[in-house]
Each structure stands twice: as C-alpha cells, then as structure tokens.
Amino acid sequence: MSTQILFVGATGYIGGTVLAKLIEHPSANTFSITVLTRSQDKAKLIEEKFPQLKVVVGSTDDEETLERLASESHVVIGTADADNLPAVKAILRGLRKRHATVGDLPIFIHTVETDDAMQGVLTTPDNGLKVGENVYDDADPKSIASLPPTQVHRDVDLAIVEADEQGKPSVRNTRLEKILIANRLGYLKSYIILPSTIYGLADHALTKAGISNPRSIQVPLLIKASLRRGAPGVVGKGVSIWPSVHIDEVADLYIRILDGIVNNNPAVGHGADGFYFGISDHHTWYELSKEIGRVMVQKGLTKSDEPTPFSDEELVKYFGSVEGGNYYGSTSRGIPNHSKAIGWDPKKTKKDLFASITPELEALL
C-alpha cells in the first residue's frame, strides 16, 4: 500500500526543495503525494512535468478543502504560512477524522515559517548592540517550553503539540488512570522544524520547471537594502548573532525525520519532544554585511566594504518599518542537538553563507 502524503507549500523555497527530495527518494514509488497550490498555472506545470503528483487547486484559506485532504492523508508536510492558525486547525481536524476512521496515528511535519523561521520564536530584540543571552536546545523540551506563548508563531506550535499530547497521562494521574489511558496518545504525531537563516539558490527539478521559488528572503533583502543605499548597512553595531543553514541541508532534515519515523528511530521524538532546529553555524550581522560590502567593492558598486548603521528612515524605506528593520539586529541562538541525534549532519559553515553572497548579489543585479 502507498503512503498518502499531503504536501502544502510546494511552490515555496523550502517546500519546493523538500518536495524535490521526496520525488527523488529511494521509496518514492511507495508515496502517493497530493500537492495543494493556489495557482492554476503552477498546477498545470506540476501535472505536466510531474505526472506522479496529484494536484489540487486551492489555498490554505480554504479550510474545508484542507480538512478533507488532511483526512485522506497519513502524512501532512506543511511548509507554508506558519502563522495561519485557522489553516493548521483545519489540518488538525482532518487528521482527527483520519485517526477516528482509519485508526492509525497520522503524522504532521510542520515548518515554523517558510523562511528564516526563528524570527519571533527564539529571537531577542537587541538592535545589533549586544548578543542575547538565551540559547535554546531542541533536545531539551524544558528549553522549548520556556518560550512564552506570546512569541510569534508560538500559538500555532502549541496547538499542534496539544493535538499530539491529548490523552497522555500526567505525573499526577493515579495508577488506575494511567492504566486506563496508557494506550491513548493524541490523534497524531507532530514534528516541528525550525529553520534559521536559509541561504543558497535552490537548484532542483521544481525550480528548473518554474514551479517553486529558488530564492531565500532574509539575505537577499539585506543585499537589496545595501545596493539601494550604495553601501553595506547594519543595525546598531551588528554584534548580535544569528544561525544559518543551507537550503539543501535543511531540506535533508525533513527527509531524515520522515525516514526516522518509518524506521522507528527512537531518537525521533514527537509532540513536546518533537522540535528540530535547522542550524549549521552562527554568524554576526556585522560579518554578513561586511561580506556584502566586500562583494559590492569587488563589483565597483561602492568604495568601502565597512558597514554603516541604518538610520530609522532607512529602516522604514528598505524594510517597511523600524521594527521590521531592527529584526536585522536581533539575536537568535540555538543548538541542534535533537536534529543531530537523529542523524542529521550538516557540513556547511558560515563561510558557505558568505560565499553565497556573490551569486545572490549577481542575481539581484
């Protein structure tokens, strides 16, 4: 029997890369993948180029369709809007129906944002003037649980984890209560992936077919701002730290989790123990802007590679608001112990991040 997979976000940067890896997976002939896309044109392209995929035209705002598709799927992989709580609740309702009618425990692999996911989740607003003290460990449920529910994306995460945890005994349960509900897990198993600064031009079958987005958001936006002002820019002093990961390596994490589930890898936890950081290295904002400046000098686009501080007016002009611009001075620090415990082994470092600046800048030019 084939594994029914619902894929949401296939035309995106992460989603397209993950889907491309699923199509090339050694067990691809056992997958029955349904792709939800709101674009009629993209749907036609998918049907033409990848006839093994089933395409449904619709958006994540179409809760009835989303619920129905989820109810028909053993695995749901979500790489679209991380803040769309109604869409996630529709998926959860569908998976609850699946569990009630089929009796299995469906799988929900959720992405906390389609790009640069830890904005709002692990960040502290340090305005480039200091390094935030918080360092989170994805292998420590207490570390994750310490995140306040008011953090961006957190309400969606908590709803998913709650669905996984329903029916599990607490430490206060009597022995009889534990016996009665010992076999009652939630109605699904959840796995939540938090990528960091994702970089690199995606180059796979879906981008070549014009179906999925080949580019990131965070680094290109900083490059655009520097090009428009004619000099590399930085928030504050740029000393705050952020993690990074290459697009191919973070996509590998999704496959590693899926394979671990299938192979019953005991390290692949779910629910409150089902958070996975996509982090391969850390960098300061100053280092990143300095490299942008170096490439701009090399291209004859500016005279100095030294980043200068963005003014509030520039933050509004280039990033939409002062608050939005100050995101480029925030701190986000994490340790991917859980991801690595399941066999994920990223090789790229911040040197690879800096090496990606030249092709990104050339593409923008």
Mean pLDDT of 225-236: 97
- On the question of pLDDT at 184 being above 70, the answer is no
Distances (CA, A) of 293 to 141, 150, 228, 233, 326: 40, 36, 13, 8, 19
Residues 6+ apart with CB under 8 A from 313: none
What's the whole-model pTM score? 0.91
Mean pLDDT of 212-232: 95
Distance CA 338, CA 274 (A): 9
How high is the pLDDT of residue 153?
A: 67
| Domains defined along the chain, listed by start | 3-216+244-280+332-345 (3.40.50.720)
Span 1-51, pLDDT tens digits: 799 999 999 999 999 999 999 999 999 999 999 999 999 999 999 999 999
**Buried/exposed code over 312-339 (b: 16+ C-beta within 10 A; e: otherwise):** eebbeebbeebeebbbbbbbbbbbbebb
Please list the alpha-helical segments (H only) found in the chain.
13-23, 40-49, 63-71, 85-102, 141-145, 154-165, 175-181, 205-208, 218-229, 247-262, 285-298, 312-319, 322-326, 337-341, 350-355, 357-364
- Residue 284 · residue 238 · CB < 8 Å: yes
Among 144-148, 183-187, 205-209, whose mean pLDDT is lowest? 183-187
- On the question of pLDDT at 185 being above 80, the answer is no
Distances (CA, A) of 185 to 91, 165, 181: 18, 7, 8
